[in-house]
Amino acid sequence: MGRLQGKVAIVTGGGRGIGAATAARLAADGARVVVNDIDPIPAEETVAAITANGGAAFPCVANTVELAEAERLVATAVEQFGAVDILINNAGATRDKMFHLMDDELFDFVLDANLRTAIHTSRAAVPVMRDAAKAEIAASGRPAHHRKIVFTSSVAALMGNPGQVNYTAAKGGLIAVTKTLARELGAFAINVNAVAPGFIETRMTAAKKPGEATGVPEEMRQMARMMISLGRFGEPEEIAAVHAFLASPDSDYVSGVTIPVTGGQIGGM
Ligand SMILES: NC(=O)c1ccc[n+]([C@@H]2O[C@H](COP(=O)([O-])OP(=O)(O)OC[C@H]3O[C@@H](n4cnc5c(N)ncnc54)[C@H](O)[C@@H]3O)[C@@H](O)[C@H]2O)c1
């Protein structure tokens, strides 16, 4: 039996990259997974890959920058699978510019995509998780099991990163939110943690082509690789493994922390 057998998980931004790998890993560990993304086709593809491997998954296309959309996402999990035990707040995006060139539009877009999505989805999920724990406490004195909230932060928030004042503000915010929610929700056996990935090979970090909104210039990719002790970029599955650890009973006594997963990136271990 998988360590997440019987659990219901939501993964935001589950259509691509780290989110897709996380949804697949949670399903392989036995969870039933609601795969959220703003883009329908990638969300459907993640669900199709999970079901082809014998797992259980359901798509929910939603932009959780809007609270009502986050509430619809959580309602989908309850309708389809009957609960929310695990929430992986992974959705995110970058729009890099040096600080003196950054306008409010770019700042707000990145704050919304990385921080507001996570706050709204958590705001929608926490009452469901709390109520379930409270009912179990009333029935038998304590929650039947731990429930888990995980935020996908970034090593950029630990080290700073030129051109990413918007992104580091959002990802640093998630680290602080992790600590506060861990304190608020511990009484209900809801663990709250974050992962700070280093440089992981996804659409977000692919070599930037002229005119593209996202990506990293090739010379910066090469410089970043030189800072990594293990000498290579990470794979989405290597972040998924730590998301899954923090979603599982193996981390029941871990709460309020941010785990760097960087291959030993200098300055952001
Ligand atoms: N790739 C890296 O090196 C790296 C490093 C540190 C942190 N991260 C973080 O990991 C997470 C996943 O990033 P990735 O590298 O897999 O990027 P990605 O671009 O491959 O995937 C991100 C997914 O999130 C979705 N998304 C964006 N905004 C959304 C919204 N408002 N609502 C729902 N879905 C939305 C996108 O459509 C996309 O499918 C992000 O939070 C990112 O900031 C990535």
pLDDT bin (cut points 50, 70, 90) of residue 210 is confident
pLDDT tens digits, 14-40 = 999 999 999 999 999 999 999 999 999
Question: Is residue 214 over pLDDT 90?
Answer: no
Residue 59 CB–ligand 1 contact under 6 Å: no
Residue 17 CB–ligand 1 contact under 6 Å: yes
Encoded tokens for 67: 């609270």
What is the average pLDDT across 250-259? Answer: 98
- pLDDT in the model for residue 188: 98
Classify the phi-psi angles of 215: left when phi > 0, otherwise alpha if psi is within -120 to 50, otherwise beta: left
What SS3 class is residue 133? helix
- pLDDT in the model for residue 9: 99
Choosing from 158, 166, 202 the residue with most ligand 1 atoms within 8 A of its CB, the one to mutate for a pocket test is 202
253 counts as catalytic: no
- pLDDT in the model for residue 6: 97
- pLDDT in the model for residue 231: 96
Question: Is residue 212 over pLDDT 90?
Answer: no
pLDDT tens digits, 225-236 = 999 999 999 999
pLDDT tens digits, 173-208 = 999 999 999 999 999 999 999 999 999 999 999 999
CA-wise closest residue to 38 among 119, 112, 123: 112
Residue 260 CB–ligand 1 contact under 6 Å: no
- pLDDT in the model for residue 72: 98
- pLDDT in the model for residue 239: 98
Among 58, 81, 151, 167, the active-site one is 167
- pLDDT in the model for residue 269: 78
Residue whose structure tokens are 């699978």:
81
What's the chain's average pLDDT? 97
Q: How far is the CA of 203 from the centre of ligand 1 (A)?
A: 8
Residue 197 CB–ligand 1 contact under 6 Å: yes
What is the average pLDDT across 87-94? Answer: 98
- pLDDT in the model for residue 143: 98
The values of phi and psi at residue 193, to 5°, are -140, 170
- pLDDT in the model for residue 178: 99
pLDDT bin (cut points 50, 70, 90) of residue 268 is confident
CA of 239, closest atom in ligand 1? 10
Would you kindly state where each structural domain of the chain is located, as residue ranges? Answer: 8-261
How large a percentage of the chain has pLDDT more than 70? Answer: 100
Question: Are the beta carbons of 85 and 145 closer than 8 angstroms?
Answer: yes
pLDDT tens digits, 117-170 = 999 999 999 999 999 999 999 999 999 999 999 999 999 999 999 999 999 999
pTM attached to this predicted model: 0.98
Cα(43)–Cα(58) distance, rounded to whole angstroms? 9
CA of 17, closest atom in ligand 1? 16
- pLDDT in the model for residue 60: 98
Question: Are the beta carbons of 17 and 204 closer than 8 angstroms?
Answer: yes
Q: Which CATH class is domain 8-261?
A: alpha beta
Encoded tokens for 210: 């002229």
Question: Is residue 209 over pLDDT 90?
Answer: no
In the chain, the amino acid numbered 49 is: A
Q: Whose C-alpha lies nearest to ligand 1, atom 40?
A: 92
